[in-house]
Amino acid sequence: RMESLPEAVLIRILASIPAVDLVLVCRLVCCQWKNLVDGAALWILKCQQEGLTGAESQENAENWQNFYFLSKKRKNLIKNPCGEEDLQHWGEVENGGDGWKIEELPGDFGKEFPSEEVHKYFVTSYEWCRKAQVIDLRAEGYWEELMDTTQPKVVIKDWYAGRSDAGCLYELCVKLLSENEDVLAEYKSETIAIPQDNDADWTEISHTFSNYGPGVRFVRFEHGGQDTLFWKGWYGVRVTNSSVTVEP
């Protein structure tokens, strides 16, 4: 009989069951199973079995169940981050000068990207070019109680570069929004100026939102720039590999 099994054995049996079934089915079987599913030991074991613990894990994680689900769900929520689909998924597009353009790496007077998986980038023109994405966290599977109570980290990253023969400007602005799109938290970079005759290296910019309070339902990511020489064409800042991730 299952109820006669030592708790350590029962935990090992439960750890072989898919996580969603544990929460939606097994937790309802009896008080003992509910306590095990709500406890840390079962989820620590599942994290270990699936390689989710290690350098990135938190040994004192307050809620290992949330840690498990967040680790399993972790992905880049920005769609088309590298221009493989032209400007698809990017809204509120401002096409100053000759507008946005997608080019193949490394591009004229440019350098290869640090990751071989990135093949294209967006490039701006001689007047301000901006583009944005709004991420619906509930549609991506991050439920309200999780965002309000656990408040997992929201990690923002972007990469930018100039071409070595032209100066340019770059800006990044990310907002955490409520149901009514009120701004609950905001990160805005300074206007970053890259001089002419620069080394064309790719630079990563990042920010982590934490302890941002309840009510976050959307993330609005916006970036852009222009060249500083006002040359016709596409001599402005280059951007690629943008990312927004929700992490334990």
Report the pLDDT value the prediction gives residue 23, as an integer from 0 to 100. Answer: 82
Asked if the model's pLDDT at residue 55 lies above 50, the reply is: no
233: left (phi over 0), alpha (psi -120 to 50) or beta: left
Read off the pLDDT of each residue in 151-177 and give the average, rounded to a whole number: 97
CB 199 within 8 A of CB 102: no
Q: How far is CA 117 from CA 79, 161, 203, 244, in A?
A: 15, 17, 16, 18
Report the pLDDT value the prediction gives residue 58, as an integer from 0 to 100. Answer: 53
Report the pLDDT value the prediction gives residue 114, as an integer from 0 to 100. Answer: 95
Spatial distance between the Cα atoms of 68 and 48, rounded to a whole number of angstroms: 10
- The CATH architecture to which 91-246 belongs is Sandwich (2.60)
CB 237 within 8 A of CB 96: no
Residues of CATH 1.20.1280.50 domain(s) within the chain?
Answer: 2-72
CATH number, domain 2-72, options 3.40.50.300, 1.10.8.640, 1.10.357.10, 1.20.1280.50: 1.20.1280.50
Rounded to a whole number, what is the largest CA-CA distance in the chain?
A: 79
Output the DSSP codes for 106-156.
S-TT----SSTT--EEEE--SS-EEEEEEEETTTTT--HHIIIII--EEEE
Higher pLDDT, 236 or 66: 236
Encode pLDDT of 5-35 as tens digits.
788 888 898 888 888 788 888 888 888 888 8
Residues of CATH 2.60.120.260 domain(s) within the chain?
Answer: 91-246
Read off the pLDDT of each residue in 157-166 and give the average, rounded to a whole number: 97
Q: Where is average pLDDT lowest: 59-63, 141-145, 197-201?
A: 59-63
pTM of the predicted structure, to 2 decimals = 0.84
Looking at every residue in the chain, the average pLDDT score rounds to: 91
